């Protein structure tokens, strides 16, 4: 969650961001660990083969194997970067007038959904598992009456507090505009 910001692309008149939801930092650690495992596998294989078959001179086969491992490492880094980018670009903005969801589905596929605060029917925060309870992260599900029935963002920090805050924003909006 960030403080109120009244400058963002697609902003309507008198609209400010009340809640900004993005993924928890623990997801970066998970992605980093996956990268480390992917990167270390060929390095371990190369070290074992190099020690087991220690050459007295550098052979062409060793240079080709090294080139293959470098290409594999670059590919593993690229896949990890794309995974991180896809997770980092998933955000939900709750303004004083509407909810805007940016969902990065694939590297070149993004979906943007929005609905009015009057369309929000239910907001649910869920923490699952040991790590979710320990680090207080989980998912937020916003049930709406609009075209896209559910706004969902997983691995968000403090889902209960954020869900309560979204409901308060909706209630305040409804109270201001019901009279």
Whether residue 137 is contained in a domain is answered as yes
How many domains, the chain? 2
Average pLDDT over residues 33-48: 82
The residue out of 85, 107, 133 marking a domain boundary is 85
- Say if residue 42 is in the same domain as residue 109: no
> For residue 157, with 0-12 CB atoms within 10 Å meaning exposed, 13-18 middle and 19 or more buried, which class applies?
middle
Residue 11 lies in a domain: no
Q: Determine the structural domain holding residue 79 and report its residue range.
A: 29-85
Residue 119 inside a domain? The answer is: yes
Residue 85 contacts residue 105 (beta carbons within 8 Å): no
The model's confidence at residue 58, banded by pLDDT at 50, 70 and 90, is low
Residue corresponding to tokens 């909706």: 170
pLDDT at 1: 45
pLDDT at 127 over 70: yes
* pLDDT for 73 beyond 80: yes
Same domain, 101 and 159: yes
Residue closest to 139 by CA, chosen among 121, 150, 152 = 152
Residue 10 confidence (pLDDT): 74
Give yes or no for a contact between 119 and 146, defined as CB atoms under 8 angstroms apart.
yes
Q: Are residues 67 and 104 in the same domain?
A: no
* 81 and 99, same domain (yes or no): no
pLDDT of residue 149: 63
User: Are the C-beta atoms of 65 and 46 separated by less than 8 Å?
Assistant: yes
Reduce the DSSP state of residue 178 to 3 states and report it. coil
In terms of domains, do 99 and 150 share one? yes
Average pLDDT over residues 5-20: 77
- pLDDT of 6 higher than 80: no
In the chain, % of residues over pLDDT 70 = 89
Model pLDDT for residues 161-175, shown as the tens digit of each residue: 999 999 999 999 888
Please give the backbone phi and psi of residue 137, each rounded to the nearest 5 degrees, phi first.
-135, 155
Q: H/E element holding 94? A: strand 91-95
125 and 62 in a common domain = no
pLDDT tens for each residue of 87-100 = 888 888 888 888 88
Residues 129 and 170 in one domain: yes
State residue 3's pLDDT score.
47
């Amino acid at each position: 969650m960030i403080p109120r910001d009244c400058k963002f692309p697609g902003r309507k008149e008198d609209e400010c961001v009340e809640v900004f939801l993005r993924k928890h930092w623990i997801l970066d650690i998970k992605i980093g660990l996956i990268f480390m495992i992917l990167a270390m596998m060929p390095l371990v294989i190369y070290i074992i083969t190099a020690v087991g078959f220690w050459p007295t001179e550098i052979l062409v086969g060793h240079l080709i194997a090294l080139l293959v491992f470098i290409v594999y490492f670059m590919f593993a880094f690229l896949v990890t970067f794309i995974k991180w980018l896809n997770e980092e670009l998933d955000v939900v903005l709750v303004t004083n007038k509407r909810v805007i969801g940016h969902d990065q589905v694939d590297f070149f596929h993004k979906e943007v959904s929005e609905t009015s605060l009057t369309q929000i029917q239910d907001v649910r925060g869920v923490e699952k598992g040991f790590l979710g309870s320990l680090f207080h992260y989980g998912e937020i599900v916003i049930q709406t009456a609009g075209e896209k029935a559910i706004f969902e963002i997983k691995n968000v920090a403090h889902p209960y507090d954020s869900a309560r805050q979204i409901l308060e924003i909706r209630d305040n909006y409804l109270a201001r505009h019901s009279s």
